A and B are shown apart, each in its own frame.
Chain A
Amino acid sequence: MINEPTTRNTAKAVARFDITQRLVAKLQNEEAVIGGIGHTNFDLWAAGRRPQNFYMLGSMGLAIPIALGVAIAQPNRKVIALEGDGSLLMMLGCLTTVGARQPENLIIVVMDNGAYEITGGQPTATTQGTDLAAIARAAGIPQSHWAADEAHFDSLIDQALSTPGPHLIAARLTSAKPAGQTERDPAQIRDRFMRGLGTKK
Chain B
Amino acid sequence: MTWDAIIHATLRAHEVKLVPYVPDNVLRPLIERIHADPYFTAFACTREEEAIGIACGAWMGGTRSIVMMQTSGFATLANVLASLPVPFQIPALLLVSERGTLGEFNIGQALVARTMRPVLDSIAMEHHTLTRLDEVEFITDRSIRQAIATQQPACLILSPLLTGGKAFK
A residues whose Cβ falls under 8 Å from a Cβ of B: 32, 34, 54, 56-62, 64-74, 91, 93-94, 96-97, 100-101, 186-187, 189-190, 193-194, 197-199
* Cross-chain contact of B58 among A57, A73, A100, A186 (Cβ < 8 A): A73
A54 to chain B: which residues have CB within 8 Å?
60
Complex: A139 Cα to B84 Cα, angstroms: 26
Chain B contact patch, size range: 20 to 34
Q: Which A residue sits closest to B86, measured CB to CB?
A: A186
* Cross-chain contact of B57 among A61, A73, A93, A101 (Cβ < 8 A): A73
A72 to chain B: which residues have CB within 8 Å?
18, 41, 54, 57-58, 61, 63
Q: List CB contacts (< 8 Å) of B13-60 with chain A.
A: 18, 41, 43, 45-47, 49-60
Q: Which A residue sits closest to B51, measured CB to CB?
A: A65
Q: Is the interface of B mostly helix, strand, loop or mixed?
A: helix
Complex: A56 Cα to B51 Cα, angstroms: 16
Q: Is the interface of A mostly helix, strand, loop or mixed?
A: helix
What 5 A-B pairs come out closest when comparing CB atoms?
Answer: A69-B57, A58-B83, A73-B61, A65-B53, A93-B46
Decide: A61 and B49 in contact? CB cutoff 8 A. yes
Say whether B105 faces chain A, with CB atoms less than 8 Å apart.
Answer: no
Say whether B143 faces chain A, with CB atoms less than 8 Å apart.
Answer: no
Nearest CB of chain A from residue B74's CB, rounded to whole Å: 16
Complex: A100 Cα to B56 Cα, angstroms: 20
Question: A69 with B53: in contact, given A74-B61, A190-B89, A190-B90 (CB under 8 Å)?
Answer: yes
B89 to chain A: which residues have CB within 8 Å?
186-187, 190
Question: A193 with B60: in contact, given A58-B79, A59-B79, A69-B55 (CB under 8 Å)?
Answer: yes
Decide: B53 and A59 in contact? CB cutoff 8 A. yes
Decide: A199 and B61 in contact? CB cutoff 8 A. yes
A187 to chain B: which residues have CB within 8 Å?
87-89
A199 to chain B: which residues have CB within 8 Å?
60-62
